[in-house]
Amino acid sequence: MPDFQRLFRFAPSPNGALHLGHAYSALCNFEMAQACGGAMLLRMEDIDTVRCTPQFERQMVDDLRWLGIAWPEPIRRQSEHFTDYRAALEKLQDMGLVYPAFLTRRQIGEAVSNAEQEGRLWPRDPDGAPLYPGTERALSEAERDAAICSGKPYAWRLDIENACAAAGAELTWNESGSGPEGQSGVIAAEPARWGDVILARKDTPTSYHLSVTIDDALQKITDVVRGHDLFHATSVHRLLQRLLVLPQPDYHHHLLLIDQTGKKLSKSDGDTAIGALRDRGLTAENVVQMCKTGARI
Ligand code: GLU
């Protein structure tokens, strides 16, 4: 690959068809890269090896090419790089910042609804999901070993309080787009709002937060351009970058295309799939135009 000063990336998960919202994001990346003489890389975020399939990937690649979007090869597939993520997790383990947590989603839900029934307000993350209670942070080594030996499934969680303390002050990022509430400029990261996030699971050596941070560094991404639904996740990514001594890209979060009912487009809404639009006889120019003029929030 030639030496580009600025590198962007489009990073879909191949677990469904590419829709107008993805196409809009890919076009933002591609056009911003072209405007500054940089390049847009393509990364398949396929850590969920059950829901992500080579067929979906092929279809996404065909749809992107049909739209006139190009990228330097090779495509990076996260499923081929689990050892990179495992190495990062081991670093965080060595720093004493992650711990195994065995509560199931249902058990966490029960703890939250019990507390709420007693009238306690349970803290929520920026996406509105209740925070993990953090109870297993205090398990002893012996209790952890016993639970692991018993074969229970578990998740590796980041001890967010200690991780923030280890990262130190002044964790910020440069935002040239905008957050959901219009935030832009120098943004103060607030990773603690996410609680003890999951970084890996017993059977999957990574999570979205971990692999996206590692890949942005390994692929030397200078500009992360993505929807503002991921604006707050950037706080976690900045924290991991600081802990793992990785470079800090600039960020640009863009608006999201919406459907006629005002909802964000989703993979389950087949009408806006690029393949469906092509089958209806639309040209690539028509679809690009729809991306540029569609309603957005
Ligand atoms: N794979 C994520 C998605 O499809 C995008 C991740 C990112 O751009 O950071 O929503």
pLDDT tens track for 234-258: 999 999 999 999 999 999 999 999 9
CA 156 to ligand 1 centroid distance, Å: 21
CA distance 187 to 103: 33
Give me the residue spans of the domains in the chain. Answer: 7-79+160-294
CA distance 233 to 212: 11
State mean pLDDT over 26-36. Answer: 98
Least confident of 2-6, 216-220, 228-232, 260-264: 260-264
pLDDT confidence of residue 90: 97
CA 149 to ligand 1 centroid distance, Å: 34
Residue with tokens 């089958």: 279
Percent above pLDDT 90 for the chain = 93
pLDDT confidence of residue 110: 94
pLDDT confidence of residue 31: 98
Q: What angle separates helix 233-243 from helix 208-218, to the nearest 10 degrees?
A: 60
Strands 185-188 and 172-175: antiparallel
Ligand 1 contact via 171 beta carbon (within 6 Å): no
CA 121 to ligand 1 centroid distance, Å: 31
Q: What angle separates helix 160-167 from helix 233-243, to the nearest 10 degrees?
A: 60
Assigned token pair, 187:
């943004």
Ligand 1 pocket test, candidate residues 18, 45, 213, most atoms within 8 A of CB: 45
pLDDT confidence of residue 206: 97
pLDDT confidence of residue 44: 98
pLDDT band at residue 264 under the 50/70/90 scheme: confident
Ligand 1 contact via 21 beta carbon (within 6 Å): no
Assigned token pair, 10:
């489009």
Could you identify the atom of ligand 1 that is nearest to the CA of residue 212? 9
Ligand 1 contact via 11 beta carbon (within 6 Å): yes
DSSP designation for 121: P
> Check: CATH 3.40.50.620 for 7-79+160-294?
yes
CA distance 287 to 74: 26
Q: Would residue 37 be called left, alpha or beta, if left means φ above 0 and alpha means ψ between -120 and 50 degrees?
A: left
Ligand 1 contact via 45 beta carbon (within 6 Å): yes
Ligand 1 atom 2: the closest Cα is on which residue?
12
DSSP designation for 135: G
Least confident of 28-32, 210-214, 219-223, 263-267: 263-267
For residue 125, pLDDT beyond 80: yes
pLDDT confidence of residue 91: 98
DSSP designation for 186: E
Assigned token pair, 235:
């706080």
State mean pLDDT over 212-230. Answer: 98
Contacts of 33 (CB under 8 A, 6+ apart): 6, 7, 8, 39, 40, 223
pLDDT band at residue 115 under the 50/70/90 scheme: very high
Ligand 1 contact via 212 beta carbon (within 6 Å): yes
CA 116 to ligand 1 centroid distance, Å: 32
CA 12 to ligand 1 centroid distance, Å: 5
Ligand 1 atom 3: the closest Cα is on which residue?
12
pLDDT band at residue 73 under the 50/70/90 scheme: very high
CA 10 to ligand 1 centroid distance, Å: 8
Cα 119 vs. chain centroid, distance in angstroms?
A: 33
pLDDT confidence of residue 103: 95
Are the C-beta atoms of residues 12 and 22 closer than 8 Å to each other?
A: yes
Q: What would the pLDDT profile of 141-199 be if each residue is shown by its tens digit? A: 999 999 999 999 999 999 999 999 999 988 999 999 999 999 999 999 999 999 999 99
For residue 267, pLDDT beyond 90: no
Ligand 1 contact via 136 beta carbon (within 6 Å): no
pLDDT confidence of residue 270: 74
Assigned token pair, 280:
């209806």
